[in-house]
Chains A and B, each alone.
Chain A
Amino acid sequence: MSTPVHAEEPALAPDNRVTSGIAFTIFAGLSFALSGFLANDLVDGGHPGVIVGFYEGLCGLALVLAINVRQFRGRPQVTRAAMFWITLAAAGFATAFACFYTALSRIDFSVGAPILGAVPMVSYVVILFVLRGEEHITPRALLGAMLVVAGVGIIGITN
């Protein structure tokens, strides 16, 4: 078992660190919504969902490597355990992209997107098994997540 790597840890106060993390996540959410809208346009135009996901990933890889070229000059530090979890995460993401983009050829984006609002609940279930002892689900976090899922569910059903 290799020692954990804590590269890139920002030197921020814990509270500021969390707040910046929340801001990053909100911006990420807006990006995902826009990207899904564009994917819907391509899939409706007759392009297979898996092909759209493949080329999107290829472009994303090129951009991520180009932006972070300096960080990848040396050999990145990855523990064997981390590589295992990365492989599992990649399998999950590849399955998700292939399935969702294929689904968009059969359902409207406005129907599919709210269903994805249940992602946090799936994450919470997986956290109970995978991140036990590393992250803790507080009652407030659970209440907040349930309200978000309920809100997304109401919008999805009434749409």
Chain B
Amino acid sequence: MELGIALTLIATVGWGAGDVFARKAMFGASAITVLALMITISVITLGIVSLILEGPGAFGGNDLRFFGLVLIMGALTWVTGNLLYFHGMKRAGVIIAAPILGAAPLAAIALAVTFGGEKPNSWVLLGAVLIVTGVGILVTDRKRVLQ
């Protein structure tokens, strides 16, 4: 459990810093070029790490369902996810885009309530109100400055 939390915190730092580095790169390349080069380097890195940690055998033995799901995930994460996010960052700036993306757990709660039949407690509702207020402040900030 503790290792899981620690790994998630490392992931938080990786994504938080990676977003800003990607935004910085966009001053010298188009969003789509940044994304394509980033995925290429990420895939090579993950491939090498997988080889070291799991061995070559881990790349095989996956069923059709696995490949179907990773294809959907690839589309969600890199096309409708990062591609749109990078365009969003280029247009709105990382200062506005990053907190809006950070509000994604609110969508997970909405899905759980709508489709999972879950009933949120008052703390969850308070958290949701804070998120909506925060996003509202960001979206209506007219003093945002780019470049």
Contacts and interface: CB of A to CB of B under 8 A. Distances in A.
A64 B35 contact: yes
Interface in B66-115: 66-67, 69-85, 87-109, 111
Interface string A32-69: 11110111011000011011111111111111110110
A158 B105 contact: no
A79 B29 contact: yes
Interface string B1-45: 101110111111111111111111111111111111111111101
A68 to B, nearest CB: 5
Contacts of B76: 31-32, 34-35, 38
Nearest to A29: B104
Interface in A144-159: 144-159
Nearest to B47: A54
B58 interface: yes
A46 B132 CA distance: 36
Nearest to A7: B30
Contacts of B17: 88, 92, 122-123, 126
A130 B21 CA distance: 8
B127 A28 contact: no
B interface, over-half SS = helix
How many residues of A sit at the interface, in one of the four size bands?
Answer: 35 or more
Given A116-B102, A117-B103, A154-B123, A89 B22 contact: yes
Contacts of A18: 91-93, 96, 144, 146
B66 A47 contact: yes
A56 B18 contact: no
Nearest to A136: B145
A92 B18 contact: yes
Interface of B: 1, 3-5, 7-43, 45-47, 49-50, 53-54, 58-59, 62, 66-67, 69-85, 87-109, 111, 121, 123-124, 126-139, 141-147
Q: Would you list the 8 A-B pairs with minimal beta carbon distance, nearest first?
A: A122-B16, A60-B78, A59-B74, A21-B91, A82-B28, A92-B18, A147-B134, A21-B92
